């Protein structure tokens, strides 16, 4: 899904819209390239995505100044989110991809805690492509389209959902740090891992679903070999 068009390089077309990488002019200091995230689709879909992008913009405003979060250069034309391009690779989850695993994950934990302190839970960190390893080997978080926010005026329900989302972030951190090998969690990291009821329900459902789809795939393969 990548290509180079008039608007720059198309990096992705996801549920929120399209993401382009374009050369940044001198009006955007400190970055050679910009990321542009903008809605697309039919009228209604576009309207909804526009709202999501505006919401993501407000999340970036809250996170301004935190190292490890791309700088946000605003909302152009009301629906184009402009971000600093981060030179890096998405986390792949292979044991040898990081020079210093302990240091990377300690940095990532501090980054998550800093975001939580300003009332932002990412809530989509199980997708490892939302965690980048910068060229300097440091963690960086992107894609706040599903983030949950909270502030002093938030009601009890919102605060509860926010706490849940923060815990889901921490659980994702543990999952990635230990490559899903939960039996190996150190006693120091154990307090961070508290599967929420949603995750407890989702895990067996996911496992069951994987088994069903794998069986169907095997059946289809057998049929195609007949
Ligand atoms: N600030 C950024 N720096 C570098 N790459 C980015 C940045 N933002 C997005 N990307 C790239 O674009 C992809 C899609 O962006 P993302 O915000 O995750 O959109 P989506 O909502 O479609 O998942 C990411 O997986 C990443 O490869
Ligand atoms: Mg994403």
CATH value of 88-195 in 1.10.260.40, 1.20.1370.20, 1.10.8.350, 1.10.510.10: 1.10.510.10
Task: Kindly state if the Cβ of 129 falls inside 6 Å of ligand 1.
Answer: yes
What residue ranges do the domains of the chain occupy? 1-85, 88-195
pLDDT of residue 198: 81
Name 73's Cβ contacts closer than 8 Å, sequence gap at least 6: 28, 34, 82, 83, 84
Distance set, CA 161 to CA 6, 105, 143 (Å): 41, 25, 19
Tokens representing residue 107 in the block: 């940095």
Q: How far is CA 84 from the centre of its chain?
A: 16
Q: Give strand pairing partners of 37.
A: 19, 81
pLDDT at 100 over 80: yes
Any idea which fold 1-85 has?
Phosphorylase Kinase; domain 1 (3.30.200)
* Spatial distance between the Cα atoms of 48 and 43, rounded to a whole number of angstroms: 9
* Spatial distance between the Cα atoms of 131 and 22, rounded to a whole number of angstroms: 21
* Spatial distance between the Cα atoms of 149 and 7, rounded to a whole number of angstroms: 32
**19-67 pLDDT tens trace:** 999 999 888 988 899 999 999 888 898 999 999 999 999 999 999 999 9
CB 144 within 8 A of CB 56: yes
Task: Kindly state if the Cβ of 141 falls inside 6 Å of ligand 1.
Answer: no
Minimal-distance CA residue to ligand 1 atom 23: 14
pLDDT of residue 2: 42
Rg of the chain over all Cα atoms, to the nearest angstrom: 19
| Selected residue with higher pLDDT from 14 and 155 | 155
Task: Kindly state if the Cβ of 19 falls inside 6 Å of ligand 1.
Answer: yes
User: How far does the centroid of ligand 2 lie from the alpha carbon of residue 222, in Å?
Assistant: 35
pLDDT band, residue 160 (cuts 50/70/90): very high
Q: What is the mean pLDDT of residues 87-103?
A: 86
| Closest by Cα among 104, 100, 87 to 176 | 104
Distance set, CA 182 to CA 77, 97, 179, 192, 206 (Å): 46, 19, 8, 12, 17
Task: Kindly state if the Cβ of 14 falls inside 6 Å of ligand 1.
Answer: yes
| Closest by Cα among 85, 65, 84 to 74 | 84
Q: How far is CA 96 from the centre of its chain?
A: 22
* Spatial distance between the Cα atoms of 59 and 160, rounded to a whole number of angstroms: 19
- Which pTM does this prediction carry? 0.87
**11-28 pLDDT tens trace:** 999 878 899 999 998 889
pLDDT of residue 137: 92
């Amino acid at each position: 899904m990548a290509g180079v068009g008039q608007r720059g390089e198309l990096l992705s077309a996801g549920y929120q819209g399209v993401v382009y990488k374009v050369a940044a002019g001198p009006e955007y200091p400190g970055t050679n390239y910009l990321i542009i995230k903008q809605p697309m689709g039919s009228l209604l879909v576009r309207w909804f995505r526009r709202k999501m992008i505006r919401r993501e913009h407000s999340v970036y405003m809250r996170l301004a100044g935190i190292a490890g979060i791309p700088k946000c250069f605003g909302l152009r034309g009301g629906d184009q989110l402009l971000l600093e391009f981060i030179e890096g690779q998405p986390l792949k989850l292979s044991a040898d991809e990081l020079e210093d695993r302990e240091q990377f994950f300690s940095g990532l934990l501090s980054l998550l805690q800093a975001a939580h302190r300003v009332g932002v839970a990412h809530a989509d960190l199980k997708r490892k492509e939302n965690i980048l390893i910068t060229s300097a080997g440091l963690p960086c978080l992107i894609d706040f389209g599903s983030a949950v926010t909270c502030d002093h005026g938030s009601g009890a329900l919102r605060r509860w959902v926010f706490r849940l989302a923060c815990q889901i972030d921490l659980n994702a951190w543990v999952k990635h740090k230990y490559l899903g090998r939960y039996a190996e969690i150190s006693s120091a990291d154990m307090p961070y891992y508290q599967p929420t009821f949603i995750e407890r329900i989702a895990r067996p459902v996911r496992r069951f679903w994987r088994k069903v789809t794998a069986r169907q795939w095997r059946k289809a393969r057998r049929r195609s070999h007949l």
